[in-house]
Homo-oligomer: A and B are copies of this chain.
Amino acid sequence: MEKFLDLKNPQEVYRDIIQAINPVVRIERVPLEESIGRVLAEDIFAPEDYPDFSRSTVDGFVVKAKDVFGASHSDPAYLVKKGNINIGEEVSFVLQEGETYEIATGAMLPNGADAVVMREYARDSGDSVEIIKGVATGENILKIGEDIKKGSNLLIKGIKISAGIPGLLSAFGIYEVPVYLPLKVHIYSSGDEIILPSETKTKGKVRDVNTYNLFSLLKKESLDYQYKGRLKDNLDIIAQAFKNSLEEADLVIISGGSSKSSKDYTENAINSLGRPGVIVHGLLISPGKPSIVGKIGDKFVFGLPGHPTSCFVVSFLFLLPMIRRLSGLRDFLPKSFMVRLGESVFAKASKETYILGKLTENGLVLPLPTDSPLVFPISQSDGLIKVPLGTEGKEKGDFVEFLPWRF
């Protein structure tokens, strides 16, 4: 006989369970190039000013701004050219009144210089240079520490090393980076009907969709994940597999067997292993209601629904955030933006409803069929349209919150 689930609100899951997770904090140091995509494990402070010497941001002539004050086509200033400053050179001389040096973009400014005149406003005649436009003090210069002051906090631990971060680390000579070790994750599928895609299929059997869709979500995270195989619908087998996995893995994932029917053993298997056991059984969302979160000590077991659409939606909305948090990432919630609906959508007001959506070239989102057992619509979708609790639908042309699979 079925029992009734005590459904949890998504916001409660995020706030009370996922936000509250203590990250698994094993640290290693890796070369800068290998750190990309990993999670930074320590705060980083600037070991020096950046730049650590004043430099020119243009090709031109270094000057004292007061020497070229008011210079113009009709009333140029004339400076004595003392030479060239090449890029990469350390400069120790001092610029004197009435003097100039030709300077390349990025080259070091001599002491005494306080501006650079761009080359197009100068006529170089070898020994002297005619300046036809004045410059303000500080113009065309990047000063010592102007970008970053020594000692300032560059990066906080728990961010993903991506976009402009590796370049920043390189700028300071940080070529070994402290990162968290990848989380260890074991994955199981369950259901006596499930076979691998390479196996011969008879009618009644179904090839494993969930494990491969799960891989597509996990592959982008910095994880050490392993597929450990199918489990028979048998309490002892499932409990034993969880027990073995929890000795090694930080998180165990199982798809299928998360409902409340007689063959859904995930809940009992978790509760047989230790405290606190099952902490969530049932989510107040559609699709994806029959989901389980279990906790044994500091480790987690996540029971995903067996229906492919439900499984994918719950993996994206809750499993990935849990993985990010366990991995030490500060920023764990799914990202979203607002977009206009190309067609109306309907929802049950009693649940937070998610509908598969495809973005169009003209900036709209179109809803796709979001029935639990389907596999095709997910493969054509770009993410989820969210219809909040208490709302029966959204009209074509309305702005809706959209959560893309990739961000």
Footprint of B on A, CB under 8 Å? 2, 32-33, 36-37, 50-53, 55, 57, 59, 86-91, 104-108, 119-120, 142, 147-148, 154-155, 161-175, 191-194, 196-198, 201-213, 215-217, 219-220, 233, 259, 261, 263, 306-308, 312, 337-339, 363, 371-382, 404-407
Could you list 17 further interchain pairs (A-B, Cβ under 8 angstroms) beyond the known A169-B197, A406-B407? A2-B59, A36-B219, A37-B219, A55-B373, A57-B307, A87-B191, A87-B263, A88-B205, A91-B204, A107-B204, A148-B375, A163-B217, A164-B216, A164-B375, A168-B378, A170-B211, A175-B196
Give me 5 A-to-B residue pairs in the complex whose CB atoms sit less than 8 angstroms apart, sorted by A's number.
A50-B376, A57-B373, A155-B379, A168-B209, A171-B207
Given the interface pairs A87-B192, A175-B198, A191-B87, the reply to whether A164 lies near B312 with Cβ below 8 Å is: yes
* Residue pair A376, B89 in contact (C-beta under 8 Å): no
User: Which of B53, B90, B147 interacts with A374 by CB under 8 Å?
Assistant: B147
B376→A216 contact, CB < 8 A: no
Contact B59 A261 (CB under 8 A): yes
With a CB–CB cut-off of 8 A, which chain B residues contact A170?
197, 207-209, 211-212
Selected from B36, B88, B312, the residue in CB contact (under 8 A) with A167 is: B312
> Cβ of A196: which chain B residues have Cβ within 8 Å of it?
175
Closest Cβ of chain B to A247, distance in Å, is 25
**In whole angstroms, how far apart are the Cα atoms of A87 and B169 in the complex?**
55
When C-beta atoms are compared, the residue in chain B nearest to A212 turns out to be B166
Q: Report whether B376 and A147 are in contact in the complex, using a CB–CB cutoff of 8 Å.
A: yes
Docked-complex contact B379 and A165, CB < 8 angstroms: yes
Which residues of chain B are within 8 angstroms of A171 by Cβ–Cβ distance? Answer: 197, 206-207, 209, 375
The CA-CA distance from A194 to B106 in the complex, in Å, is: 10
Shortest C-beta distance, A241 to chain B (Å), equals 19
Contacts of A59 in B (CB 8 A): 2, 259, 261
Q: A32-B197, A162-B405, A215-B36 in contact; A378/B108 too (CB < 8 A)?
A: no
> Quick check: B201 and A173 within 8 Å, CB to CB?
yes
Q: Which residue of B lies closest to A86 (CB)?
A: B192
Q: Are B203 and A167 in contact (CB under 8 A)?
A: no
Asked if A57 and B372 make an inter-chain contact with CB atoms under 8 angstroms apart, the answer reads yes
Residues in B whose Cβ lies below 8 Å from that of A211: 167, 170
Complex CA–CA separation, A209 to B108 (angstroms) = 17
Taking CB as reference atom, which chain B residue is nearest A316?
A: B163
Partner of A407, one of B210, B378, B404: B404
Contact with A261, one of B104, B205, B220, B233 (Cβ below 8 angstroms): B104
Q: Which residues of B contact A197 (CB under 8 A)?
A: 32, 169-175
Residues of B within 8 A of A212 (CB): 32-33, 166-167, 169-170
Tell me, in angstroms, the Cα distance from A210 to B88 when the chains sit together.
Answer: 16
Find out whether the CB atom of A193 lies under 8 angstroms from the CB atom of B106. yes
Contact B88 A306 (CB under 8 A): no
| Contact in complex: B207, A90 (CB < 8 Å) | no
Nearest CB of B to A378, in Å:
3
CA distance in complex: A216, B155 (Å): 16
Q: Assuming A148-B376, A197-B174, A376-B148, is B216 touching A166 (CB within 8 A)?
A: yes
A191 to chain B: which residues have CB within 8 Å?
87-88, 106
Contact present for A381 and B163 (CB under 8 Å): yes
Looking at the assembled complex, report how far the CB atom of A222 sits from the nearest CB atom of chain B, in whole angstroms. 11
